[in-house]
Amino acid sequence: MNSFVRLLAVLGGSVVLTLVVGRLTDLLLRRADARHPETPLWNMLRRCGPSVRVLLFTAVLRGAYRQIEWQPLREHEAAVGRTLTLVLIGAGAWCVVGVASAIVESSYARYALGTRDPSRVRRVRTQVTLIRRIVTAVVAVVAAAAMLLTFPAFRAVGTSVLASAGIIGIVAGVAAQSTLGNLFAGFQIAFGDMVRIGDTVVVDGEWGVVEEVTLTLIAVRTWDERRITMPVSYFTSRPFENWSRGGVQMTGTVFLHCDHTAPVSLMREKLKEILDGCEAWDGRGWDLSVTDTTPTTIVVRAIVTAQDADRLWTARCEVREQLVGWLAEKHPYALPRVATSTAVPSPEVGPERRTEARGDLRRPAG
């Protein structure tokens, strides 16, 4: 009975201490958040509450479990201690990742609120995402290594593992050459400002927006909601179009094939009228001119501007649709026409002359 009471006392005391400390920590973070509303750090740190409670409960239980004089626990004291140690390491890694993520995200949030340049915000967002994943990967590896070292068998082979680390490293480097290449390419993209989350790009003939950037892969969302996943090394080894590089404002063109009699001056006036009523046009510039001619048509080019790629696409479609509709309604003669009449022979050559010429061609030589 005495051992059972001690078991309940240790477990109950650990739970009560964990709840009290967790509650006090949450209250302190709330007060800090109320005093400093300019930074979201304190509110984000509150999300680490579950990991802190697990860490604290495991630490208290790890230090007091030997005080329990319960026979089943005495028989498996080493296994219980190792299990609590593993949970303690895992909870510590969870807490470190949560705190690091809160610090990184709060720094990004403050930077985004104080910066008006969208390109810089996207750049920092990409870097923050990669930094958070790097920290998570490093903490996970260290935690896994610490867990393995709690087993005597792994500590015994530690010397031989270190002795063969050089050979293993060479073999692993050769085997994972492409993976390491993508990893270093991810660092190059994150801190070289080549491509950022939210950038409009054209890769492999596909237009889309960069949706996710990892250490090895980049996901591009196309206009029809498809996701193209490409290795990071693609963007460092092949040319691609980044429409958001150097600013998101863009200039687009609309080409129309018209008859030679098309009223170009009236089309220019109609284009200005269309753009004045188009919400996607940003008002920076416009133009309409004849850029080429063919035996049957002329090529009319209309230039429009917009704040970003999405608005530019909308403006181009609206201009093309309304110009064609206006020509079909008001000036149908300006649309391309295809001649289908029968060819008329030249009047300078009569039927007898043509028959004689054909006879000369069939006459054998000599």
Joined tokens for residue 325: 């509709």
Select from 199, 212, 197 the least CA-distant residue to 250: 199
pLDDT of residue 365: 42
Mean pLDDT of 293-316: 89
Mean residue pLDDT of the chain comes to 76
pLDDT of residue 266: 93
Total Cβ atoms within 10 A of residue 146:
16
pLDDT of residue 175: 43
Is residue 49 located within the same domain as residue 148? yes
Q: What is the chain's alpha carbon radius of gyration, rounded to the nearest angstrom?
A: 37
User: Which helix (DSSP H) or strand (DSSP E) does residue 330 occupy?
Assistant: helix 309-330
> pLDDT (tens digit, 9 = 90+) per residue, 232-265?
777 777 788 887 776 667 888 999 999 998 999 9
The count of residues in the chain is: 366
Q: Are 327 and 262 in contact (CB under 8 A)?
A: yes
**Strand 206-213 versus strand 200-203 pairing type:** antiparallel
In the structure, what pLDDT confidence band is assigned to residue 67 with cuts at 50, 70 and 90? low
Structural domain containing residue 271: 250-334
**Strand 217-222 versus strand 227-231 pairing type:** antiparallel
Is residue 173 located within the same domain as residue 254? no
Q: How far apart are CA 167 and CA 333, in angstroms?
A: 79
What's the total number of domains in the chain?
2
Backbone phi and psi for residue 155, each to the nearest 5 degrees, phi listed first:
-70, -30
In a domain, 200, yes or no: no
In the structure, what pLDDT confidence band is assigned to residue 362 with cuts at 50, 70 and 90? very low
Mean pLDDT of 21-29: 82
**Of the given ranges (26-30, 65-69, 72-76, 156-160), which has the lowest mean pLDDT?**
156-160
Joined tokens for residue 45: 């740190």
Joined tokens for residue 289: 């001119």
> CB-based contacts of 98: which residues, under 8 Å, 6+ apart?
47, 48, 51
pLDDT of residue 94: 87
Joined tokens for residue 287: 């133009």
Q: Is 221 a residue whose pLDDT tops 70?
A: yes
In a domain, 353, yes or no: no
In a domain, 199, yes or no: no
Reduced to 3 states (helix: H, G, I; strand: E, B; else coil), residue 338 is: coil
By the 10 Å C-beta count (0-12 exposed, 13-18 middle, 19+ buried), 95 is classed as buried
Scanning 223-308, the segments in alpha helix (DSSP H) are 232-237, 264-276
Q: Strand 298-306: give its sheet, edge to edge.
A: 250-258, 298-306, 286-293
Q: Are 252 and 303 in contact (CB under 8 A)?
A: yes
Backbone phi and psi for residue 259, each to the nearest 5 degrees, phi listed first:
-75, 160
pTM of the predicted model, to two decimals?
0.47
Q: How far apart are CA 126 and CA 141, in angstroms?
A: 23
pLDDT of residue 159: 46
Domain of 285, CATH number, reads: 3.30.70.100
Domain boundary among 134, 157, 178: 178
Domain boundary among 178, 206, 229: 178
Q: How far apart are CA 14 and CA 213, in angstroms?
A: 42
In a domain, 366, yes or no: no
In the structure, what pLDDT confidence band is assigned to residue 4 with cuts at 50, 70 and 90? low
In a domain, 328, yes or no: yes
- Per DSSP, the residues of 172-235 read HHHHTHHHHHHHHHHHHHHHHTS--TT-EEEETTEEEEEEEE-SSEEEEEETTS-EEEEEHHHH
Mean pLDDT of 97-114: 81
pLDDT of residue 30: 82
In a domain, 144, yes or no: yes
